[in-house]
Amino acid sequence: MVESLGSVGALVSSPWIYALVAVSVLLDIFLPVLPSGVLVITAATAAAAGSGAAAAGRVPENVPDILILTLCATTASVLGDLAVFRLAWRGGPRLDRAIARSRRLTTAQERLGGALARGGGALVVLARFAPAGRSIVSLVAGAAHRRIRDFLPWSALAGLAWAAYSVALGYFGGQWLGATWLAAGVSMAALFGAGAGAAFLVRRQPRASEAA
């Protein structure tokens, strides 16, 4: 892995990769430009390199464990969602006015409210893959004072789905294409493709008023 991905290999072979992934996933709800998905995929690609070395009879370097990596990413995703949810819950009239001025946020609030009211949170899961979708969903759910027991299970499912998908892309990409930048690039393209597809599906979700 060190030879294939250069200096990045030293980072992903360190136990600190779990902390780095967790912090990146936790904070990218506030700063969606953070490359949390890229980090998860790169670490999972390193895990594939380690398993390949073990299968070849060589003692692998310290490489990430894919289960721990998935757990770290999932937990950080849920904690970030809850942080924004609670901040928005306490936002008060100023936040309500800001949402009312944004057509995108108003539409998201209507759609999310309808989805949670009907006992379904597929929108929450879809939005986790869409660019900035996680931030918008957590913000409008908190601002609308949705019940935490309605939001939290779907947030956990969304975080697990995103983390498992990202780890699987990196791991199996590394298995099939080798622990190279090509494997990481193909996996990242698949992640971004899923994000574009999720954004398209979210936009097609009917509003609560239309569904009624």
Query: Which is nearest to 109 in space by CA: 196, 197, 27, 209?
Result: 209
Distance of CA 171 to the CA centre of its chain: 16
Cβ burial of 209 (10 Å; 0-12, 13-18, 19+) is: exposed
Q: The pTM is what? A: 0.80
pLDDT value of residue 210:
45
pLDDT value of residue 175:
84
For residue range 22-73, list pLDDT tens digits in order: 999 999 988 877 788 988 998 888 887 765 444 444 444 566 789 999 999 9
For residue range 84-107, list pLDDT tens digits in order: 999 888 876 666 676 667 776 666
For residue range 192-207, list pLDDT tens digits in order: 999 888 878 777 765 5
pLDDT at 187 over 70: yes
pLDDT value of residue 163:
96
Structure letter (DSSP) for residue 207: P
Is the Cβ–Cβ distance between 36 and 25 less than 8 Å?
yes
Q: Is 98 helix (H, G, I), strand (E, B) or coil?
A: helix
> Sign (positive/negative) of CA torsion 26, 125, 71, 53?
negative
- How many CB atoms are located within 10 Å of the residue 103 CB? 8
For residue range 123-162, list pLDDT tens digits in order: 888 889 988 888 888 888 888 888 888 889 999 999 999 9
pLDDT value of residue 8:
47
Average pLDDT of 3-14? Answer: 51
Query: Which is nearest to 171 in space by CA: 184, 153, 154?
Result: 184
